[in-house]
């Protein structure tokens, strides 16, 4: 029981339940299928991005360029489709976006693995490089006349439940997030590659001594994050039914916050898929539903900041209490 | 000697101008326990890295199991059964005990998928083989240093170790843990014929566990022989080139002067309870007790790093409020922590910068700029006083040997000239010769009016340097002992009684 309580997932889950109760008791419309479906729809993009960020953080790195990769992949894919294959299916759209994302991710990997540069520096650089290149060389106008495949995608629905006012629809892309999450869970838990990612985040030198090919692991991580970001970017455009080169960039902090709230350590080595999903839902609720209990929009960022401070602060304090009063001694 | 497993002859190695090893000979015999001793910076760790293939030797012969190997990579050494357990143990703090043990094999076998049942079986097997019991499902970050060491040993045995090398394995262990470790190792020696090579600065330990001893000084083998050929005096002589006799510290406190530091009815987190004592200028007071007795917590409380619940602390007769280490430093309290290597150095920065980092403010010249002449004056003063063995203080700290890195931490704190200096295990990992020098330095500082509080479980050290010894148990001081009226046996038996 004590172990269970100490686990981060438990803490996030409790916070989540409390937050839902507070919102729901103040505004009963919160507890409706409609709200649930809307929140789920709102979690898809953040969730897919978060899965990518999760493996980077577990490996001891950080990636802030994923939003630029996402919007780059989305916008270029839409432009390519409009120019060459306006009637291609949504699967083609996702494949192209994924490949573009993969390519950009490998650029990150190259700088990180080859030159051993700090991951934050590299991805801060590529964040503005990718975005700048997109705006300057590919286009800076919002595309509203998207290929029909995207329009269909936006309207797609798997479950329809009649409500007092209109119907509640569940978008099929929720299953995309579920599939990505299951894939990640298997990768992290049951493959040596996944264990190598944890090992790298826990003790990089020891990982090398143990025989892991660290360079190859890093190429995988940043390439895979790129691919996921491309897919997430495409999903975003599909749901929004437009390709706006100014979208997505700016979401970095929300996504990273979700992952960290879900129990991943920014110092690397720790983090789980379940925790991350909980963190994503928490952030999405905080972003979308605080307004239901009268928190004005401008205050939402403050509340999210507070949740992050509390959510990540409590485990850190607990750990320090447990006897690790080490840090801080060197720097008085 | 047909029983030689590994024979090194005429090994030398230099690093950019520093001759770390010159003409070293060493023979490791199958199934025997060897100890490698020598002063700080004499080349022990370098020699071990050459045996492991981590460093390439410049000259010399390396014959293992009858094979003469020209070049050697770490993987070759591992194939020959050489396993080195480094001080960081090469473990993953975020992974479970089971996974840590099994991981190397899984990687070596080129697996793609993880079979968790098999991971547990491998780990359980490995621990059973060395006959120890450690829970498999906790993360390694949560287990004690002693257990980490055993996990590293279990891993080494899984890889068919025939020689296990451990560089200062006992520095972070308690008495009881040391006994447990050696009983495991002895079993492996008897049952599996594994040979061991230890590095240690604790001479009593060397004499009690080893069968063969190798002494090196300044990168050269001075002597190599059976344990029976050595006693403490010969070890000290071979290591340092002269003999050492320590005098006890004779200081009569001036009772008319008020105490420098006075602690009354101190209660503090997590377990300190009703602590009372005084420290006068010029005194060296020892604090001892078993691990968990609260001795480190006391130091931390006085350094403002543990919340104080109640009680009074006065310095120079003025009550002080110690809420953080900043407060403590402002009131003239300095603290050299136990775990110096991870707590106090900027390893990539120069020795000089590390020494002056705390005092840089006081070294400013007339324009408020740092004065290079003053800085280098202070640096060379401390490099000399502490005998830091380096070619040039401008070199980064990580080129120093382990013991010399520790001296840099001491220098950094001593340079800031506090009124009260708390030293936690000041000579852990320091060789005998330098230990004496450090003790003399402590006495000199006390003579100049500093008050020193020395935490240590090295009883002879306390007897040789302190006026009084405070014995702690369960978070409180149970007895104050005058060093003139006691001896090592008396204190040791007091330590273990309950
Ligand atoms: N990477 C390096 N670059 C430059 N000099 C080095 C390097 N490693 C070791 N040395 C030097 O080689 C000498 C031997 O160092 P080594 O670490 O082998 O000593 P040691 O016997 O292990 O000492 P200790 O007891 O303090 O651990 C020292 O003078 C040290 O400064
Ligand atoms: Mg050493």
DSSP codes joined into one string, A228-260: HHHHHHHHHHHHHTSB-TTSSTT-HHHHHHHHH
Q: Which two tokens stand for residue B224?
A: 């190599």
Ligand 1 centroid–CA B390 distance in Å is 9
Q: Which two tokens stand for residue B456?
A: 């240590």
In this structure, the answer to whether residues B323 and B449 fall within a common structural domain is: yes
Please state the rounded mean pLDDT for residues A47-58: 95
Q: Does A325 touch chain B (CB under 8 A)?
A: yes
What are the backbone angles phi and psi of residue B60, rounded to the nearest 5°? 115, 165
Q: Does A329 touch chain B (CB under 8 A)?
A: yes
Contact B325 A328 (CB under 8 A): yes
Higher pLDDT, A257 or B290: A257
Q: How far is B320 from chain A (nearest CA, A)?
A: 18
pLDDT category of residue A331 using cuts at 50, 70 and 90: very low
Q: Which two tokens stand for residue B263?
A: 């602690």
In this structure, the answer to whether residues B394 and B458 fall within a common structural domain is: no
Region at A60 (left for phi over 0; alpha for psi -120 to 50; beta for the rest): left
Q: Which domain-ending residue is among B416, B442, B462? A: B416
In this structure, the answer to whether residues B327 and B301 fall within a common structural domain is: yes
Q: Does B304 touch chain A (CB under 8 A)?
A: no
Quote the pLDDT of residue B334.
Answer: 87
In this structure, the answer to whether residues B269 and B181 fall within a common structural domain is: no
Which residue is it, tokens 């060093």? B483
Contact A269 B92 (CB under 8 A): yes
Q: Is pLDDT above 90 for A234?
A: yes
Q: Does A191 touch chain B (CB under 8 A)?
A: yes
- CA angle, A147 then A148 then A151, to 5°: 105
- What letter does residue B339 receive in the DSSP assignment? S
Q: Does A3 touch chain B (CB under 8 A)?
A: no
What are the backbone angles phi and psi of residue B460, rounded to the nearest 5°? -55, -35
Residues in chain A closer than 8 A to B93 (CB atoms)? 202-203, 269
Contact A192 B106 (CB under 8 A): yes
User: CB of A65 within 8 A of CB of A126?
Assistant: yes
In this structure, the answer to whether residues B232 and B256 fall within a common structural domain is: no
Q: Which residues pair with B216 in a beta bridge?
A: B38, B221
User: CB of B445 within 8 A of CB of B437?
Assistant: no
Say what percent of chain A tops pLDDT 90.
42
For residue B389 and ligand 1, the question of a CB distance below 6 A is answered with: yes
Tell me how far CA of residue A31 lies from CA of A38, A165, A294, A300, B176, in angstroms.
12, 15, 16, 20, 59
Quote the pLDDT of residue A28.
Answer: 80
Ligand 2 centroid–CA B215 distance in Å is 14
Q: How far is A113 from chain B (nearest CA, A)?
A: 20
Please state the rounded mean pLDDT for residues A59-81: 93
Q: Which two tokens stand for residue B104?
A: 């190397």
Using CA atoms of B360, B362, B367, B369 in order, give the dihedral in degrees to the nearest 10.
-10
Provide the domain count of chain B.
3
- What letter does residue B83 receive in the DSSP assignment? E
In this structure, the answer to whether residues B278 and B166 fall within a common structural domain is: no
Distance (Å, whole) CA B172 – CA B167: 12
Q: Does B106 touch chain A (CB under 8 A)?
A: yes
Between A209, A329, A332, which is nearest B90 by CB? A209
Region at B474 (left for phi over 0; alpha for psi -120 to 50; beta for the rest): left
What are the backbone angles phi and psi of residue B220, rounded to the nearest 5°? -125, 145
In this predicted structure, which of A5-14, A105-114, A157-166, B445-454 has the lowest mean pLDDT? A5-14
* Residue A299 neighbours by CB distance under 10 Å: 12
Quote the pLDDT of residue B428.
Answer: 80
Residues in chain A closer than 8 A to B331 (CB atoms)? none
Q: Which residues pair with B468 in a beta bridge?
A: B285, B482
Q: Which two tokens stand for residue B473?
A: 């148990």
For residue B116 and ligand 1, the question of a CB distance below 6 A is answered with: no
In this structure, the answer to whether residues B144 and B30 fall within a common structural domain is: yes
The protein residue with its alpha carbon nearest to ligand 1, atom 4, reads: B399
Q: Which candidate in B107, B348, B405, B418 is best for mutational testing of the A interface (most A CBs within 10 A)?
A: B107
Quote the pLDDT of residue A108.
Answer: 94
Domain range spanning residue B142?
Answer: 4-240
Quote the pLDDT of residue B160.
Answer: 85
With H, G, I as helix, E, B as strand and everything else as coil, classify residue B106.
helix
Which residue is it, tokens 């010969």? B234
Distance (Å, whole) CA A226 – CA A216: 15
In this structure, the answer to whether residues B140 and B44 fall within a common structural domain is: yes
- A-facing residues of B in 311-350 (CB < 8 A) are 325-326, 329, 335, 337, 339, 342-345
Domain assignment present for B338: no
Residues in chain B closer than 8 A to A193 (CB atoms)? 112
What are the backbone angles phi and psi of residue B262, rounded to the nearest 5°? -130, 130
Provide the domain count of chain A.
1
Half-sphere exposure of A255 (CA within 13 A, CB side): 28
Which residue is it, tokens 């005194």? B283
Residues in Cβ contact with A115 at an 8 Å cutoff, skipping those fewer than 6 apart: none
Region at B16 (left for phi over 0; alpha for psi -120 to 50; beta for the rest): left
In this structure, the answer to whether residues B185 and B315 fall within a common structural domain is: no
Alpha helices in B115-260 (DSSP H): 116-129, 145-158, 175-192, 203-209, 232-240
Instruction: For residue B306, give the CATH number of its domain.
Output: 3.40.50.300
Between A192, A199, A206, which is nearest B112 by CB? A192
Quote the pLDDT of residue B367.
Answer: 60
User: CB of B476 within 8 A of CB of B275?
Assistant: yes
Of the listed ligands, the closest to the CA of B86 is 2
- B-facing residues of A in 250-269 (CB < 8 A) are 268-269
For residue B189 and ligand 1, the question of a CB distance below 6 A is answered with: no
* Residue B21 neighbours by CB distance under 10 Å: 27
* Residue A234 neighbours by CB distance under 10 Å: 31
The string of pLDDT tens digits covering residues A168-204 is 888 888 999 999 999 999 999 999 999 999 999 999 8
Distance (Å, whole) CA A282 – CA A4: 20
Q: Among the atoms of ligand 1, which is closest to the Cα of residue B47?
A: 18
For residue B38 and ligand 1, the question of a CB distance below 6 A is answered with: yes
Quote the pLDDT of residue A7.
Answer: 64
What are the backbone angles phi and psi of residue A80, rounded to the nearest 5°? -60, -45
Distance (Å, whole) CA B343 – CA B364: 26
User: CB of B310 within 8 A of CB of B265?
Assistant: yes
Here the contacts of B231-240 (C-beta below 8 Å, separation 24 or greater) are B231/B207, B232/B203, B232/B204, B232/B207, B235/B37, B235/B203, B235/B206, B235/B207, B235/B432, B236/B203, B236/B432, B236/B433, B239/B37, B239/B38, B239/B39, B239/B42, B239/B215, B239/B431, B239/B432, B239/B433, B240/B39, B240/B431, B240/B432, B240/B433
Domain assignment present for A27: no
Which residue is it, tokens 């408020």? B368
Q: Is pLDDT above 80 for A5?
A: no
User: What separation, in Å, do the N-terminal and C-terminal C-alpha atoms of chain B show?
Assistant: 50
Between A192, A205, A207, which is nearest B111 by CB? A192
Q: How far is A192 from chain B (nearest CA, A)?
A: 5
Quote the pLDDT of residue A329.
Answer: 34
Please state the rounded mean pLDDT for residues A211-236: 94
Distance (Å, whole) CA B272 – CA B359: 32
Distance (Å, whole) CA B28 – CA B22: 19
The protein residue with its alpha carbon nearest to ligand 1, atom 24, reads: B40
In this structure, the answer to whether residues B104 and B183 fall within a common structural domain is: yes
* Buried b or exposed e, range B25-49, using 16+ CB within 10 angstroms: bbbbbebbbbbbbbbbbbbbbbbbb
Which residue is it, tokens 């070596």? B108
* Buried b or exposed e, range B74-113, using 16+ CB within 10 angstroms: eeebbebbbbbbbbebbbbbbbbbbbbbbbbbbbeeeeee
In this structure, the answer to whether residues B218 and B305 fall within a common structural domain is: no
Q: Which domain-ending residue is among B210, B240, B270? A: B240
Residues in Cβ contact with A116 at an 8 Å cutoff, skipping those fewer than 6 apart: none
Q: How far is B111 from chain A (nearest CA, A)?
A: 7
User: CB of B50 within 8 A of CB of B40?
Assistant: no
Tell me how far CA of residue B399 lies from CA of A212, B15, B18, B415, in angstroms.
27, 9, 10, 22
In this structure, the answer to whether residues B105 and B42 fall within a common structural domain is: yes
Quote the pLDDT of residue A196.
Answer: 94
Contact B93 A207 (CB under 8 A): no
Contact A205 B90 (CB under 8 A): yes
The protein residue with its alpha carbon nearest to ligand 1, atom 1, reads: B399
- What letter does residue B468 receive in the DSSP assignment? E
Q: Is pLDDT above 50 for A324?
A: no
Q: Does A296 touch chain B (CB under 8 A)?
A: no
Ligand 1 centroid–CA B21 distance in Å is 9
User: CB of A227 within 8 A of CB of A66?
Assistant: no
| Regions of chain B where pLDDT drops below 50 | 1
Ligand 2 centroid–CA B43 distance in Å is 7
Distance (Å, whole) CA A157 – CA A59: 36
Q: What is the CA radius of gyration of chain A?
A: 20
User: Cα–chain-centroid distance for residue A227?
Assistant: 12
Q: How far is A210 from chain B (nearest CA, A)?
A: 5
Q: Which domain-ending residue is among B356, B383, B416? A: B416
Quote the pLDDT of residue A137.
Answer: 87
Domain assignment present for B263: yes
For residue B45 and ligand 1, the question of a CB distance below 6 A is answered with: yes
Tell me how far CA of residue B492 lies from CA of A51, B171, B496, in angstroms.
57, 19, 7
For residue B100 and ligand 1, the question of a CB distance below 6 A is answered with: no
Closest chain A residue to B91, measured at CA? A206
Quote the pLDDT of residue B90.
Answer: 85
Pocket test for ligand 1, best of B14, B16, B39, B46 (most atoms within 8 A of CB): B46
For residue B44 and ligand 1, the question of a CB distance below 6 A is answered with: yes
Domain assignment present for A289: no
Q: What share of chain A is helix, strand, coil (3-state, %, to 5)?
A: 75, 5, 25
Residues in chain A closer than 8 A to B91 (CB atoms)? 203, 206
Domain range spanning residue A65?
Answer: 57-258
Q: Among the atoms of ligand 1, which is closest to the Cα of residue B18?
A: 5
Residues in Cβ contact with B498 at an 8 Å cutoff, skipping those fewer than 6 apart: none
Q: Which two tokens stand for residue A310?
A: 């509390």
Quote the pLDDT of residue A191.
Answer: 94
Contact B305 A329 (CB under 8 A): yes
Domain assignment present for B103: yes
Domain assignment present for A292: no
Higher pLDDT, B345 or A115: A115
Between A210, A269, A332, which is nearest B325 by CB? A332
Higher pLDDT, A323 or B278: B278
- CA angle, B92 then B95 then B98, to 5°: 105
Q: Which candidate in B95, B159, B337, B359 is best for mutational testing of the A interface (most A CBs within 10 A)?
A: B95
Q: Does B300 touch chain A (CB under 8 A)?
A: yes
Q: Which residues pair with B482 in a beta bridge?
A: B468
Ligand 2 centroid–CA B152 distance in Å is 19
């Amino acid at each position: 029981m004590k172990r269970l309580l100490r686990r981060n997932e438990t803490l996030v889950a409790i916070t989540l339940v409390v937050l839902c109760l507070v919102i729901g008791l103040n505004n009963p419309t919160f507890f409706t299928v409609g709200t649930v479906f809307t929140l789920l729809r709102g979690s898809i993009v953040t969730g897919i991005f978060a899965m990518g960020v999760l493996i980077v953080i577990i490996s001891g790195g950080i990636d802030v360029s994923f939003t630029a990769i996402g919007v780059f992949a989305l916008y270029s894919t839409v432009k390519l489709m409009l120019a060459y294959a306006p009637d291609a299916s949504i699967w083609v759209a996702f494949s192209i976006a994924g490949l573009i994302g993969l390519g950009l991710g490998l650029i990150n990997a190259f700088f990180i693995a080859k030159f051993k540069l700090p991951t934050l520096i590299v991805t801060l650089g590529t964040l503005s490089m990718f975005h700048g290149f997109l705006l300057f060389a590919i286009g800076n106008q919002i595309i509203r006349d998207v290929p029909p495949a995207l329009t269909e995608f936006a309207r797609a629905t798997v479950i329809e439940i009649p409500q007092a006012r209109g119907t509640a629809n569940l978008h099929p892309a929720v299953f995309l997030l579920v599939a990505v999450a299951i894939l990640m869970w298997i990768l992290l838990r049951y493959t040596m590659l996944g264990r190598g990612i944890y090992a790298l985040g826990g003790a990089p030198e020891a990982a090398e001594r143990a025989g892991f090919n660290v360079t190859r692991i890093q190429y995988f991580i940043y390439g895979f994050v790129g691919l996921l970001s491309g897919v997430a970017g495409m999903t975003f455009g599909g749901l929004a039914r437009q390709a706006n080169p100014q979208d997505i960039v700016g979401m970095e902090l929300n996504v990273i916050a979700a992952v960290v709230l879900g129990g991943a350590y920014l110092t690397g080595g720790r983090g789980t898929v379940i925790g991350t999903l909980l963190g994503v839902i928490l952030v999405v609720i905080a972003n979308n539903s605080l307004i239901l209990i009268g928190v004005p929009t401008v205050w939402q960022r403050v509340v999210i900041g507070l949740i992050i401070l509390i959510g990540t602060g409590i485990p850190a304090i607990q750990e320090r209490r447990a006897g690790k009063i080490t840090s801080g001694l060197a720097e008085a | 000697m047909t029983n030689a497993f590994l024979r090194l002859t005429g090994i030398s190695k230099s690093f950019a101008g520093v001759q770390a090893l010159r003409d070293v000979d060493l023979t490791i015999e199958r199934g025997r326990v060897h100890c490698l001793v020598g002063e700080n910076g004499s080349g022990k760790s370098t020699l071990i890295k050459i045996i492991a293939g981590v460093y390439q030797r410049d000259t010399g012969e390396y014959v293992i199991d009858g094979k003469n190997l020209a070049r050697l990579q770490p993987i070759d050494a591992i194939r020959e059964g050489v396993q080195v357990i480094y001080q960081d143990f090469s473990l993953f703090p975020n992974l479970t005990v089971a996974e840590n043990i099994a991981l190397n094999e899984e990687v070596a076998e080129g697996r793609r998928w993880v079979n968790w049942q098999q991971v547990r079986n491998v780990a359980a097997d490995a621990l059973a083989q060395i006959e120890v019991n450690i829970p498999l499902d906790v993360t390694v970050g949560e287990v004690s240093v002693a257990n980490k060491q055993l996990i590293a040993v279990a891993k080494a045995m899984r890889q068919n170790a025939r020689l296990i090398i451990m560089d200062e394995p006992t520095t972070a262990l308690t008495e009881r843990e040391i006994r447990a470790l050696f009983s495991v190792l002895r079993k492996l020696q008897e049952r599996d014929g594994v040979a061991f090579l230890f590095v240690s600065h604790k001479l009593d330990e060397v004499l009690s566990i080893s069968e063969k001893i190798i002494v090196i000084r300044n990168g050269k083998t001075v002597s190599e022989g059976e344990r029976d050929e050595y006693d403490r005096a010969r070890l000290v002589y071979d290591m340092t080139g002269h003999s050492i006799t320590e005098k006890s510290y004779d200081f009569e406190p001036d009772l008319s002067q008020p105490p420098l530091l006075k602690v009354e009815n101190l209660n503090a987190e997590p377990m300190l309870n009703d602590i009372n004592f005084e420290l006068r200028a010029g005194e060296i007071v020892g604090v001892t007790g078993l691990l968990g007795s609260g001795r480190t917590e006391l130091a931390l409380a006085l350094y403002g790093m543990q919340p104080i619940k109640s009680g009074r602390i006065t310095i120079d007769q003025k009550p002080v409020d110690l809420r953080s280490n900043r407060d403590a430093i402002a009131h003239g309290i300095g603290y050299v922590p136990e775990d110096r290597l991870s707590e106090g150095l900027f390893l990539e920065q120069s020795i000089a910068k590390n020494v002056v980092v705390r005092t840089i403010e006081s070294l400013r010249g007339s324009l408020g700029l740092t004065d290079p002449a003053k800085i280098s004056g202070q640096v060379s003063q401390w490099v000399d006083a502490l005998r830091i063995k380096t070619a040039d203080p401008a070199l980064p700290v990580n080129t120093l040997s382990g013991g010399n890195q520790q001296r840099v931490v001491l220098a950094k704190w001593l340079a800031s000239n506090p009124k009260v200096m708390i030293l936690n295990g000041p000579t852990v990992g320091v060789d005998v010769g330098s230990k004496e020098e450090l003790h003399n330095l402590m006495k000199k500082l006390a003579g100049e009016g500093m008050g020193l509080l020395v935490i240590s479980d090295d009883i002879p050290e306390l007897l040789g340097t302190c006026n009084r010894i405070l014995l702690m148990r369960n978070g409180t001081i149970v007895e104050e002992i005058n060093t003139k009226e006691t001896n090592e046996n008396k204190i040791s038996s007091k330590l273990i009684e309950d």
